[in-house]
Structure formats: structure tokens, C-alpha cells
Structure 1
Amino acid sequence: MALFSRRKKSADDVVADHIETEDSAVDAPEVADAPSEPAEVTPTIGISVQAFRGVGAQAGPEVELPDADAAPAASAPTTAPAPAAPAAPAAEPERKLPLAPAMPPEQTETVAGMKDNVLLRESLKEVEQGATNEQLLGVLRQALQGHMYIRVNGDARAQISEGKPLAVAVVRDGDRQFMLAFSSAAAVRDSVQLEKDPTATSAVAQPVTSVLQQVVSGDFAGLIVDNASAPHRVVFPTELLQKALEQADVDMTVKSLIAAPREQDTAAKVGEALATKRMWVAVNEGNPGGQVGIAEAQTPDGKRFLQLFSHPLEVLALGRGDRPLPFEPLQLAKILSSHIDMAGVIIDPAGPSIVVERDALTSVLILAVDIDD
């Protein structure tokens, strides 16, 4: 858990203390009303919960992979192993937020010693006034990894050490209150500077799922991300966040591995995770003969990769009209064992993404052997 303290100082000295790590800190402290609130911020819900309702079916029909000689269900990577963007130009009006590169971004610190959630920060830069539901869902997609900062009124270290609930900063809009979260320490600093007479403020870095769970379990109407960065800010209703959490891996294991700097064994770790974690596939019904199939990609040399997704929002981000369907490890094992020409899987083609080849999927393939035995 990362902390920094803010005392009444000049505008150039908002972030005072360097980051500290406390392994014993509570991951999901209770939420208390803040004694002060940022001024001149009136949240406006710009996203319809209906845009996300029903995304990710809980059950579905048995689906088949398209034939190897049939047209692939999705655009193939231009080079192996990185996936390419869908065929439609990125500037197309109905396009979602621009697709991220296959490789994770370089980690940066807009305030020294405090790491940004770069994917979230960069996706927020694409949001303008009048952003579409699809664009805002694209921001939520990138928010589902890493950490966020939350503002705490007073000394967060002292509150944690004394076992007190954190006095989390909120924004009120009539009878509604919204929790604040931030993509970077600089965004926290900008929020503090909105106040005419700011009180002592701390920032705490917490896993994204912990932050969202606090909003869902607390008396909040929603979550405002980077409230001082208009128009590059978003407001997510609590119902939307609850739906996203219901369909997410609480540990965000696969998504976190893909979004983190790549190590030599990253693909192997992802392969091991796929043996225990539910994923999603993109189901389409536009194949010849009306066959319902799972989207795959092909490399220029003809290798076939099954497309897997860490969350239903990853399917929506491609803008192809595919339907997300939950996919258990055993289903993946059966597909791979029955299609020996399948070279492996590609996860989250919208980016960051990773190709996991067959030799790194031993833990998954063993599941099919156990069933046969």
C-alpha cells in the first residue's frame, strides 16, 4: 500500500513524502465520509448501465472453431506473435477507444516514487466531452488492472496503524456521494489543488478490484476517476462497477500479467494461470452455413491462435459485434486437444496482448488427459 502526505504548503510542494510500502496494510478498508470535499465538481453520469447489462452470457451453446481453410473470424496478426488491429480504420466514427499496443506500456511516475496506472491514464486522455458509452466502457476495460490511488483526509498511515477506517474523500451531488479514484499521483495533486482551503491529505494506492469493491459495498452512487481532469474524467455508476466485478477474476491474474513489464517467463506464467482461471471467448454467428464459431486469428505463416479474453469488455473493445461467452479451463483443454493444429492462444487482442504458444500450455493440456483417463 503506497502513501504520500499532503500538508498546507505551496502549490509546488503538494506531494511531500516519498512512497512507502506497508505489507501489513489492509487491502480493503472500510469507507468513512470525508470531512471536506473538492470544490467545483458536479458529477454527471455520462454512461448508461444498459450499455453493459447482459454483457458476458452466463451460459451458451456449444461452439466450434471455424475450419482451418475458412476465412478467420478476426483479422490475423500482421506479424507473429503480435496481433493486428481489426480491419476497420482506427478513425472510423463508431470505433471504440484506440486499441493499445500489444506490449505493455513503459511504467512511468508523474510524481517521483509513485507509479502511474499508465493504461488507465492514457485511455482517459482519449475521452472528450460527449464521449460515447462504448468509449467509456473502453476506459473501464483499461481500469481493470493494476492499481488506483484514493484520497484520504488526514494521515492515512496513522489511520491504518490505529485500526481506524480510512476517511476517504468524496464528492457530493445533492443526496448522492461519489468516491474518488485516480490514475496517478499527479491526478491526486490536481484534485487537491481544486480546493480553496485544503486540509491534510494522503493518497493510498490500492488494487483496482479493492477500490471497486469499496464503491459497491459502500453508500456510493458511483466512482469518479481523475475528477480534476475534465473533460478527461469519467464517472462510473455503482451498478456498472458491480456488473464488471461479477464477471472479473477477483485477482485479475491474467490481466495483471499481460499489463506488467514482460519477463522471460511471462508466457509460461500465463499458461499456468489459464489452467485455473475462467476466460472468455468471442462468439460469432456469421460463418458460412450459419455455424456458430469462436473467433481465432491467423499469422501470415498460417499458424492458428484461439482468441481468449480476460473480461467481456475486452471483446467489446474490438467493435466486431461478437458476443462474449465464458470459457472454463476444461473447455480450453478440450479445444486444444481436439485441434492439434492450433498453435496456441492470443489473449486480449485489443491490447496489451500476449501470444501463448502450445508448448507453454502444458498445464491446460493435462486437464484434457485427466478427463480421458
Structure 2
Amino acid sequence: MALFSRRKKTADPSTVEEDAAVPSAPAEDAAATGAPEETVPNVGISVQAFRGVGADAGPEVAAPVDEQSSSGLEDDAPEEPVVAPRREPTINVIETEKPRLPLASALPPEDTHTIEGLKDNVLLREALAEIAEGASNEELLGVMRQSMQGHLYLRVYGDAGQQINDGEALSVAVIREDEKSFLLAFTSGAALRAAVDAEEDPAATSAMAQPVGLIYQQVIDGGFTGIIIDNASAPHRVVFPTELLQQALDQGDPAMVLKSLVSAPREPDTAARVGEALAKKKVWVAVSDGTNGAPVGIAEAHTADGKRFLQVFSHPLEVVALGRDDRPMPFEPEQLAKVLSSHSELAGVIVDSAGPSLAVERDSLGPVLVLAVDLGD
């Protein structure tokens, strides 16, 4: 493997700059650096997992994002959620129209490790694989929704473990262009290898794994312009501006508990753990106002054996992914408890029906139903 070779000294020792141009959109064919013509020596990548990057990991900048560098996502981002109705909502079946982007399989993918010790973010990697030249805003939002779970990886120059032990700020890799700065993150060991293979002067580097929510928050708190995911894997990469990351975290659970549970390989207690999370975490429901003749109310789903399930979502982007005219509406645990207790015909809930999804039946929703008892329903 190889590393960035053209590094500048800056006032912030915790960042390492790359001299490459920043891609203005994920579909552009502009790599961070050109691949060297001669064979690059192999340099091993050490793997470290830490809870935090460190307070000094980001540059002291706060550059605005213009329309070209923002990938055009803001215009199609979900609108502010509608206010929950005061009366008990009507629950109706809303048929799914043809989606605007490929939906994922109901079952989560199997874990893969393209570098020993690094668990790939397979869902995000597969979403990026759908990105091509001229990707639509809907496709980019589909990538964003699949990023709301799991881990991403940061490149750290030198030995990350030693830097932590010595109390030093981690030398994480960023790209800077004029006043803009972008943190680099990776979905997999293969994407990380592609980035270091593109370097001309190899040096030691470490890979640091962190939950996506922490990395997105670091981009926001560190004053970055945005984040580039899999920068050396064009066209299968994406640029997310900080404003979009802030909106995504504000609208969802920063810990991404539900999405992470549904997206992980199934365990015997997965449904029970989702039931516990639903008793604590706000979810979203899909609301139709009757446009195009659709039933007015909250969407439910019917299984082949006739069971009825309320559709709930871990993030409003999960509603957008279905490609319907529904609007995402926030639903607190107490509201969910009231609906389930008032509609005994509902067999349970389906979480994130755009996939990966999970049907959770009533016998796993005890913690939620207890809330209805506490409310006197």
C-alpha cells in the first residue's frame, strides 16, 4: 500500500492535507491523486478501533458550501416533518409504487472483511455500487439512508495507537481545496486500499473504525465543509456537505440504534432488541394525504398470510426511499403504543420496509405495549 506523499505543514498537526482537487459531485471522474505508473511497494495497514478522533482532529474552518460543491442534495432533502395529528390517526394500506431507487433486500447482507480486522460497511458499499455517472438526487439520498448505520473508516498517518498513547491528536487524512476541507472516510478495506494504492510515496498508515454517527458529528464539530466517502473509487463515491449531515442527524437518532439493529445479521434476540428500542426511540410513519387517490392515513402492510403490520421507519429518508407521495411524520413511543393498543388487529410493525427490514410481532413489542398501560389505555 502507499500513502499521501505531498503533505503540507499546517497550524493544525492533527490533519494531513492532500494536494488533489475536491470532486464537486460523486459522479465526476476526478481521483484524489493520479495512480503512479510504476509499481507501488506494499505497505501494511494496521487496524485500530477507537471511540473518538480527538478534539483537535478537524481544521478551524467554517467555509460555506456553494451549489456546485453540495451535490445538489439540499433541494430534494426531506421537508420538515408534518405535525402529528391530535386525533388518533387512521391506518390504511398504501400500495407501494415503483420506487425511484433500488430497494435493498429484506435480509441484511453477510459481514465481509476485505482487510483482516476491518468489518466492511456492506450496505453502504452496495449503495455506492449503484452510483454511476450522472447519479440522480434520489440515488444520492439512497446512499445517505444506507449510511445511517454501521461504521466508517478513517485514514490515520503513522501509528494511531501510539498517537493515542502519547496523547497526540490523530493525524487523519483530509482533502483541502482553497477554503474548503473534506474529511475522507471509507466503507471497506478494499476502498481504503484503493486510496493508499493511488499514492506515489508509501508510508505507514493506520485504519481507525468509528460509528457513522460519531464521524458525521466530527465533520460538523470540526468545521469541515463535508465528507467524501471512498474518494478513490470513482464513480462509486459520494460527497456529502456538512449541512446535509447536520440535517440527517437532527432528523434521526444520532446513535442510529434501530437502523443498526435491522441492518445487522439476524440474531435470536434481534426482534426483542428492536422491541426494546421502539419503546425508547422516536420513529417515523408514512402519511398519505389522499393525493392521487391513495387512502388517507398512516401506511400499513399486509403479508401473504393476511397479517397486518404498521410500517415504521428509523429515519425520514427511509420513507423517501419508497418513492411514494407519503410524507414522513415523527412518532413517539407513546404514540406507537397507543396505536398498537387501539388496533388489536395489527400483528405488529415492520421496520424500514425499503430494506433491510424486519417484521416485529406483538410478542416482541411488550416494552412498547407497557407504555400504553402506563398511559391508561
Structure-1-length-normalised TM-score: 0.83
Q: 1:289 to 1:260 in 2, by over 3 A?
A: closer
**Alpha-carbon deviations, 1:97-120, whole Å to 9, x = none?**
x11111110101112231100000
3-state secondary structure, aligned to 1:100: coil
1:257 aligns with 2:278: no
How far apart are the structure 1 equivalents of 2:48 and 2:292?
A: 58
1:315 aligns with 2:319: yes
**Alpha-carbon deviations, 1:144-169, whole Å to 9, x = none?**
10000011122211111122221211
Query: Which residue of structure 2 aligns with residue 13 of structure 1?
Result: 42
**Alpha-carbon deviations, 1:261-312, whole Å to 9, x = none?**
1011110110111111110001111289997410110112221100000001
Q: 1:129 to 1:31 in 2, by over 3 A?
A: farther
1:46 aligns with 2:71: yes
Query: Which residue of structure 2 aligns with residue 114 of structure 1?
Result: 118
3-state secondary structure, aligned to 1:113: coil
1:227 aligns with 2:231: yes
Q: How does 1:1-373 map to 2 (within 5 A)?
A: 11=40, 13-17=42-46, 19=47, 25-32=50-57, 44-52=69-77, 54-57=79-82, 59-62=83-86, 64-66=89-91, 72-74=93-95, 86-88=96-98, 95-96=100-101, 98-286=102-290, 292-372=296-376
How far apart are the structure 2 equivalents of 1:228 and 1:20?
A: 21
How far apart are the structure 2 equivalents of 1:289 and 1:139?
A: 30
State whether residues 146 and 256 of structure 1, in contact with CA within 8 Å, keep that contact through their aligned partners in structure 2.
yes
Gaps (5+ residues) in structure 1? 35-42, 75-85
Please give the root-mean-square deviation of Cα atoms over the aligned residues, in Å. Answer: 2.5
How far apart are the structure 2 equivalents of 1:199 and 1:321?
A: 51
How far apart are the structure 2 equivalents of 1:292 and 1:103?
A: 30
Letter in 2 for 1:355: A
How far apart are the structure 1 equivalents of 2:245 and 2:165?
A: 29
Q: 1:53 to 1:341 in 2, by over 3 A?
A: closer
3-state secondary structure, aligned to 1:29: coil
3-state secondary structure, aligned to 1:318: coil
May I ask how many residue pairs the two structures share in their alignment? Answer: 335
Structure-2-length-normalised TM-score: 0.83
How far apart are the structure 2 equivalents of 1:290 and 1:155?
A: 57
3-state secondary structure, aligned to 1:188: helix
1:364 Cα deviation (Å)? 0.5
Q: 1:287 to 1:368 in 2, by over 3 A?
A: farther
Q: 1:282 to 1:211 in 2, by over 3 A?
A: same
1:200 Cα deviation (Å)? 2.8
Deviates more, 1:243-252 or 1:348-357: 243-252
1:28 Cα deviation (Å)? 4.4
How far apart are the structure 2 equivalents of 1:11 and 1:56?
A: 51
How far apart are the structure 1 equivalents of 2:354 and 2:193?
A: 31
3-state secondary structure, aligned to 2:375: helix
State whether residues 56 and 326 of structure 1, in contact with CA within 8 Å, keep that contact through their aligned partners in structure 2.
yes
Letter in 1 for 2:55: E
Letter in 2 for 1:354: L
How far apart are the structure 1 equivalents of 2:288 and 2:348?
A: 20
State whether residues 31 and 214 of structure 1, in contact with CA within 8 Å, keep that contact through their aligned partners in structure 2.
no
1:258 Cα deviation (Å)? 0.7
1:227 Cα deviation (Å)? 0.1
State whether residues 7 and 201 of structure 1, in contact with CA within 8 Å, keep that contact through their aligned partners in structure 2.
no
Q: 1:61 to 1:289 in 2, by over 3 A?
A: farther
3-state secondary structure, aligned to 2:227: strand
Letter in 2 for 1:349: S
How far apart are the structure 2 equivalents of 1:32 and 1:199?
A: 20
State whether residues 186 and 229 of structure 2, in contact with CA within 8 Å, keep that contact through their aligned partners in structure 1.
yes
Letter in 1 for 2:90: L
How far apart are the structure 2 equivalents of 1:128 and 1:105?
A: 22
Q: 1:289 to 1:5 in 2, by over 3 A?
A: closer
Q: 1:260 to 1:46 in 2, by over 3 A?
A: same
State whether residues 123 and 146 of structure 2, in contact with CA within 8 Å, keep that contact through their aligned partners in structure 1.
yes
3-state secondary structure, aligned to 2:120: coil
Identity %: 55
Letter in 2 for 1:268: A
State whether residues 2 and 42 of structure 2, in contact with CA within 8 Å, keep that contact through their aligned partners in structure 1.
no
Gaps (5+ residues) in structure 2? 6-38, 60-67
State whether residues 58 and 224 of structure 2, in contact with CA within 8 Å, keep that contact through their aligned partners in structure 1.
no
